[in-house]
Amino acid sequence: MLGVPLLGLFGTLAPLWGLWRWRGPWRIAAALPALAMAWMVGRIVVDTSRDPTSHNLWPFEILIVGGLSSAVMLALFVARALVQRNRPARG
């Protein structure tokens, strides 16, 4: 049961970390999962304020989007590390 909040937290914080630390196209790539998480949480908040019975399965929604966001960010971490490792040294 602890996995849902942790996955949602990682799916939110990892893209925010990427937005803060990365530059150039990596920052744009990190913005996509951040926008997906923001859209999902915003949609849950707005929809439940209109109808409290909607989104009864919101933990699963967070799990799905958080899992996708986490997978994208892990792929970006690996891709960025590989690109930086293969980049010739400046100097």
Residues 31 and 39: beta-carbon distance below 8 Å? no
Structural domain harbouring 75: 3-84
Count the domains in the chain: 1
Contact residues for 48 (Cβ-Cβ < 8 A; gap 6+): 54, 55, 58
Residue 27 lies in a domain: yes
Residue 91 lies in a domain: no
pLDDT at residue 7, rounded to an integer: 78
Give the pLDDT confidence of 17-73 residue by residue, as tens digits. Answer: 999 999 999 999 999 999 998 899 899 999 999 998 887 888 888 888 988 999 999
Residue 8 lies in a domain: yes
The 8-class DSSP code of residue 87 comes to S
pLDDT of 91 above 70 = no
Residue 74 lies in a domain: yes
pLDDT of 89 above 70 = no
Contact residues for 37 (Cβ-Cβ < 8 A; gap 6+): 8, 11, 12, 15, 65, 66, 69
Residue 55 lies in a domain: yes
Please give the Cα distance from 72 to 15 (Å, whole number): 9
When pLDDT is averaged across residues 10-14 and rounded to a whole number, the result is 87
pTM over 0.75: yes
The 8-class DSSP code of residue 56 comes to T
